[in-house]
Structure 1
Amino acid sequence: MKVADIIINRPAKQLHKPFSYAVPEKFGTIAPGTRVLVPLGGSREEGILIGYHEEAEPLSYTVKSIIQVLDQEPWFTTEMMNTAKQLSQYYLCSYGDALRLFTINKTLKSYEAPKEVWLVTQPGFTVEQFSTRKKKQRELAEYLLDVEGAPLSLLKAKGFSLPVIKQVAAAEYIRSEERFKETKTRFTSLLSNEGDITLTDEQQVAYEPIRAAMDANTQETFLLHGVTGSGKTQLYLKAAARCIADDKTAIILVPEIILTDQIVRRFVETFGDEVVVFHSKLTINERYNNWERLRRKDSHIIIGARSAVFAPAEHIGLIVLDEEHDNSYKQEDMIRYHAKQVALWRGQSHGCPVVLGSATPAVTSFYKAQHKEYTLLSLPNRVFEQPMPQVQIVDMKEEMLRGNYSVFSDDMVNLIDTTLQNHNQMIMLLNRRGYSTFVMCRECGKPIQCPHCDVSMVYHQSGEELRCHYCEHHEPVPNICPHCGSKKIKFFGSGTQKVEEELRRQFPQARIARLDQDVTKQKGNGEEILEQFRIGRYDILLGTQMVSKGHDFENVTAVGILTADSVLNIPLYSAAERTFDLLTQTAGRAGRGEKLGCAVIQTYNPLNYAIIKSKAHDYIGFYNEEIQNREILGYPPFREMIRMLVRHENINTLEGIANHIVTDLEAHKDSEDIEINGPYETGIKRKRDMFYLAIMIRGPKLDSVKKYIAQSWIFTQEGLLIDVDPI
């Protein structure tokens, strides 16, 4: 007897294995990848048919039957299901959770993109069908003949009344039909082909191996190491044009939503409606529509943040990860996948190149390129040979010895003054939002902490309140200390709001824009600020990491980095790498036009190698020092890592669960080279009223550990978060 294997589409760890259901004859053969409705307990659940298996008859158990088939054709292709299987095994999540990543919502129900009615002309349609007295009808007919078809919404927007539209729609050789709505961008389309996209000699040399891999339909991973301003986007455009010519889909990934606007502009200006955009701030209808356009192959290019790597394309010809080093490609909630790894799996399945582009490649990526696992392509010079910006390091300890306790060093003030006098623009980075870093009592020395998390709350001048950046709890600033009753409450540290206030005080003539999470919470705010800065409405753009990468502003000649140590002091093995990336990328925003650029970096650790190498834009020098440290200490790429976070509202119960996991893993590890450290307290012991303990597993290869965890009780343990390849 043939029995269907069904994955129940619910995010419950207990349902991670497939269930068996009989297929009634009336449904015939249901293709794998199709959604079905099945009975489960006393309810009906949506499921995904992933395959079949044979059962010997008579069966020793009762097999329930599928109730309904929900799709006319499979939603999931074989490649999508295989990729989801790889993802579930590698990242230790359920197969159902992995499949859901290829969908719009967490459930698959109601997949129907919005449609609209079009009037479409056919051969034989003429203006002469309408009397010369019916000027509006003839005008509409002429327009339709010119464009060959248009939606009713557009015709109404052009001033044609509904009676006129109905009269033209009733004429011969014209038909009404439903089409999916198009999600428009606000950029002008200048549709081009591959021949219109010119490359410099250096770019052409880098492009040729990518073109050869596309022509041969072979999967090859290219690490495109190009300095800031070397024209990596131009090379992406050329490769995407080649992809469209082959009737295949190109997936272009960027790390942050805020960065999509600039790269979308470039692609839409080049490819028009071939481009769809996908990120979490689109409405549900926009997401449905863009997904459908890709499935129908109405469009061949998708641009988006990490989730766009799951685009439902059947023929992928190119995948690009711009700023491939960026940590935003790692999902930090629920399924902790990395978009780069998913891109490599999909590239392998589709036989297409994967291009990883960055001025500061991830250390593990460059290591793989050095060992021929990836193919290294280089763009060592800026376009038109513009020089890299001059970088100055300021030791803030010396500033304090001279009596300067301001957030701005003397060199920073001079840079701001010079930039404003020359009518140029400046980007300023402070990797802390809010007004003050924390609020503390000077009597007892205790900060005001969040009642739900073991962290100090940050003062936000907007709303005049304290806010927790982990759970978003907020409350008024107390008049007296909740610990000792003292009235000696003082604000410490500087966030973006406070720096903005200080900038306005010292430079009243400057037009200043702030870009951080507080500003970008409302849809479109961030994009609008960047657009206004691009056209010269602001002199200084102050912000968090949002201002540090991907932006290309012609008139920006200066960059100021206020706290280079903010990332360096985080207790992570990748802290030096993150610091070098942040400083180099931010400094690289300056001098991308015809004018020379310069940057000032303020730090309390001027002798740290990450800061010294960033001054010279010396990626190779930084890599050589960092890779030696990683080998000595046993960090990636030399050893694999799995980090487990165990959480519970009761600390004693939490310790019992965590210790049980460690004991079990120690008993079942198959090599002395595998280390199991913990349980230990994380940087923040309590978040959102839940206590946390961590367990770290390290070893040359952790495949056997993963296999054991997936089959053991550990996998279904409530409150357990598994992070494979933590960064």
Structure 2
Amino acid sequence: MRVAEVIINRPAKKMNSPFSYAVPPHLGEIAPGTRVAVPLGRTKEEGILIGYRDLAEAPTYEIKPIQAVLDKDPWFTSEMLSTAKKLSKYYLCALSEALSLFTIDKKQLKSYERPKEQWLVVQPWFQPEHIPMKRKRQRELGFYLQELGTASVHSLQKDGFTLPVIKQVMTYEGIIVEERYTQTKTKFNACVVKELPLTEEQQQCYEPIKRAVTTCTADTFLLHGVTGSGKTQIYMKAASECLANDRIAIVLVPEIMLTNQIVTRFVEAFGDEVVVFHSKLTISERYNNWERLRRKDSHIIIGARSAIFAPTDDIGLIIVDEEHDTSYKQEDMIRYHARKVAKWRSEANHCPLILGSATPSIESYYLAMQGIYRLLELKHRIFHQPLPKVQIIDMKEEMMYGNYSVFSGAMSHLIRQTLGNKEQMIILLNRRGYSTFVMCRECGEPIKCPHCDVAMVYHQSGEALRCHYCEYHEPVPRVCPHCGSQKIKFFGSGTQKVEEELQRNFPKARIARLDQDVTTKKGQGEQILADFGAGQYDILLGTQMVAKGHDFKGVTAVGVLTADSVLNIPLYSASERTFDLLTQVAGRAGRSNGKGQVVIQTYNPLHYAIIKSKAHDYIGFYKEEIQAREMLGYPPLGAMIHFRIQHKDKAKAMAIAEKIVNALEVFLVPGELDIMGPYEEGIKKVRDLYRVAIMVRGNDLKSIKDFIYNSWIFTQEGLHIDVDPV
């Protein structure tokens, strides 16, 4: 007996194995990758048919039949199914969760049919002059249709005819109504492909990429180019070659707000060939874009990390811009890394993968040094513009000289100079809010969130304390909740407070702030960036949003207020993140005609991440960082899995963690595979759930991952597994 293997489309690890169903004869042959409706207990569920198997003998239990087929054609290609299976086993998530990443609409049991619309087709015997004169609009529409020959209801409505008038004309003899598939559109103008001239250095980097695109070779290229060296031009040239071969190009950018800038550049060259994928699109926009790709009306996808799951085949090129960026790692639910998925899809589609960055991830550069990736280098800015001059300011010395302001003397001078020259400046402060914490001067206790083990941040708008983990908020207390003292004091500076100080010290400056507090509305962040690019603001102040990939011609100066904010995070990658952030934000200065100047304020001026960022010395930083990681067995010289157990009862969380450690100890090999924990996390409680952690570190974790995937650990409630934490 032959049965269908169906994965139930529920994010439940206990249902990770496929269920067997019979295929009724009236449904015919259902191809793998098709979504189906199946009975499960007393309910009806959506499932994905992933294959078939033959039973050696008839089972003793009833095999229920598939109830309906939801897709006219399979939604999942064989490549998408195999990539989802890889992702499920590598990142230790349910296969249904991995498959859901490729779907556009998360609603269950919903069929998708290509959108159709009604068209009015005029026959030779249609006589609009027979329409009564008193029906003026119907008569006008009749003659208009006779002139056109055919038109859609939608286009007629756009031309000013109301739906009741159109429906009445449909009833006249000589008018036939047809159902036709909607011709999907993008938001962009028709294709206007322009020549993309490359410098000699760019051409040398492009040639091997071009060969890989034309020969359908799954090479991985690490394009290491200093800020402003023209990596985007190489991306566009490679995409043009991909189009010439009638294949799909996927371009990933780390942030949605960056999408608009790179989309604009691609649209200028490729027009209607471009579609956009990101999490803020409506369902209809997603379907529209997928339909264009499926029919190959468009060939270029641009978007944030979720765009790597575009449900399309025949991929001819994948580009990951700013490949070092931690935004490519999904930090909740399914904790995948888009760069890893891009590698899998590149191999499956036999197409090249370009990883581009001015500060490549340590992992990517290490693989390039091992010859696994092909290293391509752009060592100079376009037209050989100099890299900005960077000045490091020790804030401990500023305090010794009595300057307790958030601005050092050098920073204040640079702001005045930039404003005086009528140029623009970016200021980075990686802390939002007004004051970073509120503390009682009597007992020394900060005001903490009652649901999380963190100090709340004061936000001037609303005059409230807010938790950045659970968004709990409350008014600022008049007395200390710990000791009853009235000596409540605000400490630290967030972007709101710095904005206020900038306005007080530089009253004529036009200042824009860019952080999560001002980008809650759709399109608000993009508008701020567009206005700044158009010269409507003198200073752009913000969190790390302002550091990534922006190309503003008028920016000649950059200021970093607290370079240590990332450096002090207890992560093995803290130095790398600091170097990346400082180098990237410094690279925003002096990209056009003016010479760039950068001032970086720090309390740790001798740290190698800060020293090397001053010199724009990626190679020097890499050598120090890889040496430190080699000594400690950190990635890329070792692999890691982080386990977080969350429970309302701290003792129960610890007991579950200890049980997991006991089960994994059979794999323990000192020096090759180590298990650390269980231990309380730095932030012990979030949203009333206590957090206990385990870290597994080793040279090869495949065996232990296979064990976890098939054991009770995989289905343990309250357990979150993060493979390759960053």
TM over 0.5, shorter chain: yes
| TM-score under structure 2 length normalisation | 0.94
Residue of structure 2 in register with 1:235 after alignment: 234
Residue of structure 2 in register with 1:628 after alignment: 627
1:271 Cα deviation (Å)?
1.4
| TM-score under structure 1 length normalisation | 0.94
- The C-alpha deviation readout for 1:435-489, integer Å capped at 9, x for no partner, is 0000111111101100100000000011111100000011111111111111111
- 1:600 aligns to what SS in structure 2? strand
Residue of structure 1 in register with 2:3 after alignment: 3
Matched-pair contact (CA < 8 Å) for 2:71–2:111: no
Task: Read off the aligned partner of 1:344 and give its amino acid letter.
Answer: K
1:22 Cα deviation (Å)?
1.3
Task: Read off the aligned partner of 2:704 and give its amino acid letter.
Answer: V
Matched residues in 2 for 1:584 and 1:417: separation? 23
1:493 Cα deviation (Å)?
0.3
1:83 aligns with 2:83: yes
Residue of structure 2 in register with 1:66 after alignment: 66
1:175 Cα deviation (Å)?
8.2
Change (3 A) 1:340 1:120: farther
Change (3 A) 1:179 1:404: farther
Change (3 A) 1:93 1:670: farther
Matched residues in 2 for 1:23 and 1:604: separation? 68
Matched residues in 2 for 1:680 and 1:108: separation? 39
Matched residues in 2 for 1:58 and 1:112: separation? 35
**Counterpart mapping for 1:350-429 below 5 A:** 350-429=349-428
1:116 Cα deviation (Å)?
6.5
1:672 Cα deviation (Å)?
6.2
Matched residues in 2 for 1:300 and 1:142: separation? 37
Matched-pair contact (CA < 8 Å) for 1:252–1:303: yes
Matched-pair contact (CA < 8 Å) for 1:199–1:234: yes
Residue of structure 2 in register with 1:318 after alignment: 317
**Counterpart mapping for 1:322-341 below 5 A:** 322-341=321-340
Task: Read off the aligned partner of 1:80 and give its amino acid letter.
Answer: M
Matched-pair contact (CA < 8 Å) for 1:113–1:180: no
Matched residues in 1 for 2:284 and 2:267: separation? 21
**Counterpart mapping for 1:528-543 below 5 A:** 528-543=527-542
- 1:491 aligns to what SS in structure 2? strand
Residue of structure 1 in register with 2:102 after alignment: 102
Matched-pair contact (CA < 8 Å) for 2:426–2:540: yes
**Counterpart mapping for 1:174-323 below 5 A:** 178-180=180-182, 182=184, 184-185=186-187, 189=189, 191-193=191-193, 196-323=195-322
Matched-pair contact (CA < 8 Å) for 2:145–2:151: no
Matched residues in 2 for 1:559 and 1:715: separation? 47
Task: Report runs of 4+ in structure 1 exceeding 3 Å deviation.
Answer: 105-109, 111-124, 133-145, 149-185, 668-672
1:29 Cα deviation (Å)?
1.5
Matched-pair contact (CA < 8 Å) for 2:45–2:109: no
1:178 Cα deviation (Å)?
3.9
Matched-pair contact (CA < 8 Å) for 2:675–2:694: yes
Q: Which runs of no fewer than 5 residues in structure 1 stay unpaired?
A: none
Matched residues in 2 for 1:111 and 1:592: separation? 49
**Counterpart mapping for 1:580-619 below 5 A:** 580-619=579-618
Task: Read off the aligned partner of 1:707 and give its amino acid letter.
Answer: D
Task: Read off the aligned partner of 1:448 and give its amino acid letter.
Answer: I
Matched residues in 2 for 1:313 and 1:60: separation? 41
1:301 Cα deviation (Å)?
1.0
Change (3 A) 1:215 1:184: closer
1:167 Cα deviation (Å)?
11
Change (3 A) 1:171 1:630: farther
Matched residues in 2 for 1:140 and 1:247: separation? 39
How many residue pairs get aligned? The number is: 719
1:652 aligns with 2:651: yes
Task: Read off the aligned partner of 1:287 and give its amino acid letter.
Answer: R
Residue of structure 2 in register with 1:54 after alignment: 54
Matched-pair contact (CA < 8 Å) for 2:267–2:274: yes
- The C-alpha deviation readout for 1:596-637, integer Å capped at 9, x for no partner, is 111110001111110011011111111111111111111111
Matched residues in 2 for 1:679 and 1:475: separation? 34
Matched-pair contact (CA < 8 Å) for 1:225–1:376: yes
Q: Percent identity?
A: 64
Residue of structure 1 in register with 2:444 after alignment: 445
- The C-alpha deviation readout for 1:226-256, integer Å capped at 9, x for no partner, is 1111111111111111112211111100011
**Counterpart mapping for 1:428-467 below 5 A:** 428-467=427-466
CA RMSD of aligned residues (A): 2.8
Matched-pair contact (CA < 8 Å) for 2:93–2:334: yes
1:343 aligns with 2:342: yes
Task: Read off the aligned partner of 2:99 and give its amino acid letter.
Answer: L
Matched-pair contact (CA < 8 Å) for 2:435–2:457: yes
After alignment, is 111-120 or 4-13 more displaced? 111-120
Matched residues in 2 for 1:59 and 1:339: separation? 42
- 2:517 aligns to what SS in structure 1? helix
Matched residues in 1 for 2:716 and 2:470: separation? 24
Change (3 A) 1:698 1:150: farther
Task: Read off the aligned partner of 1:355 and give its amino acid letter.
Answer: I
